[in-house]
Amino acid sequence: MTLFGLLARYVSRTFLYSFGTILGCFFTIVVLFDFAEIQRRAGSTDIGFINKLTLVLFRAPHLLEQAFPFIVFIAALFVFWRMNRSHELVIVRSIGLSLWRLILPVGLTAFCIGCIILIIFNPLSSTLLGSSQQLEKKYFSGSKEEVKIDPTGLWLSEQVGSTQVIYRASQIDLKNLEFKDLNIIITSPQNKFLERIDAKIGQIQGNRLELKEGWDTQAGHVAEPFSQKSIETSLNQRKIEKMRVDRNALSFWKLPSYINLLDASGLKSLQYRMHWHSLLATAFWLGAMVLLAAAFSCRPFRQGKMIVMIVAGLGVGFLLYFFKDVTFALGASGRLPPLIAAWLPTLLTVMVGAVLVFNQEDG
């Protein structure tokens, strides 16, 4: 039997059907629970049903993306369990075919699903998540404080009293809270221009921003130079770090350029590097989850305790999922190199699954 023979196509088709069914169930559960959460948060706020549903549907792809490894694991677990229960595995083995002949096609199918998620689904879910965050900000927080990083520099905005203040700096030193080549635009609540300040250097000291060597232009007045100037600000290191763009709102393809912009602006990019490696590793992790599922569901029925093995497989799957979150946190905090932290769960899953499958083949 070749890799893409009749049996391989049959197993892969069965897996895809199972994956689609479980994905549909997960999607329904995610939408229902998230809608209930949005309903709770909305409370007495006047938000229409269509707006709530739009917010839920925009968030759903991202929530599903987090669950894809476990969806693949459950789908593969069900497929191999059903084939075992119907004695198809016994027939396959009786004609001299190895268990790997069934695992490999399903693993490759899961890997292809992972590639599609990475190439197509992830950019879509990131875009929709960004839109949902804007809607949440509009309906729930009403905050106008945000950050943007592009080739022109680092852009920050905050509300000071009743005015809106926009900052643009070519670079920031977070340790000393110092901005270089700083431009500040102050607008009224009606979004009318009030004042523009340009300074070579700006440094945050307490609740004041100390500016040096620049120009001050007020509405209706001629620009005036200054050597030192001080304005009120609520910015601090923690607030600037918190204002950064959610890494989940950036697609796999946009992350590298955003990381370069962060480095050029003087901001930390470790969490974004870790997220990029994690996204790449997840495509391979889906295939590894198939191997783990086979290890716990292909045990011969005559050996008994099949239900116990299935439950144990689900438990191990949850533990590996938790372990992935732990390694991600270690990588994002700098305690582990991002490359190791991202790929360790995949390698561990492959090793555990392979050992158990080889044990069954030899046993």
350 and 318 housed in the same domain: yes
The pLDDT score that the predictor gives to residue 144 is 53
Contact 280, 342 (CB under 8 A): yes
Mean pLDDT of 110-116: 94
Residue 219 lies in a domain: yes
Which of 42 and 220 is assigned the larger pLDDT? 220
Give yes or no: residues 24 and 137 share one domain: yes
Spatial CB neighbours of 68, under 8 Å, sequence gap ≥ 6: 113, 114, 117, 282, 286
pLDDT value at 207 more than 90: no
Report the alpha-carbon distance of residue 132 to residue 147 in Å, rounded. 17
| Neighbouring C-alpha atoms within 13 Å toward the C-beta of 332 | 12
Residue 253 belongs to a domain: no
Residues 118 and 150 reside in one and the same domain: no
- Res 1: pLDDT: 43
> Is the same domain home to 173 and 108?
no
* 229 closest CA partner among 202, 258, 262: 202
What mean pLDDT do residues 318-334 have? 88
On whether both 124 and 221 belong to a single domain, the answer is no
Per-residue pLDDT, averaged over 61-85, amounts to: 90
Of the ranges 3-7, 116-120, 166-170, 273-277, which one carries the lowest mean pLDDT score? Answer: 3-7
Comparing 320 with 137, which gets the higher pLDDT?
320
- Both 12 and 112 in one domain: the answer is yes
In a shared domain, residues 134 and 274? yes
- Please, are residues 289 and 76 in contact by the beta-carbon 8 Å criterion? yes
Same domain, 355 and 308: yes
Residue 143 pLDDT greater than 60, yes or no = no
What is the arithmetic mean of pLDDT over 279-296? 91
Q: What is d(CA 79, CA 297) in angstroms, rounded to the nearest whole number? A: 9
Number of domains in the chain: 2
Q: What is the pTM of this model?
A: 0.80
Boundaries of domain holding 157: 146-242
Answer yes or no: is 306 within a domain. yes
Confidence of residue 117 (pLDDT cuts 50, 70, 90): very high
In a domain, 293, yes or no: yes
Give the helix ranges, DSSP H, for 86-137: 88-94, 100-116, 122-136
Q: How confident is the model at residue 285 (pLDDT cuts 50, 70, 90)?
A: very high
Same domain, 274 and 230: no
Indicate whether 121 and 13 sit together in one domain.
yes
- 1, part of any domain: no
pLDDT attached to residue 250:
87
Please spell the DSSP secondary structure of 264-299, one letter per residue.
HHT---HHHHHHHHHHHHHHHHHHHHHHHHHHHH-S
Region 8-13: what's the mean pLDDT? Answer: 88
Min mean pLDDT across 88-92, 139-143, 264-268 is at 139-143
Q: What digits encode the pLDDT tens for the residues 16-59?
A: 999 999 999 999 999 999 988 888 877 767 778 888 888 899 99
> How far, in Å, CA of 304 to CA of 209, rounded?
72
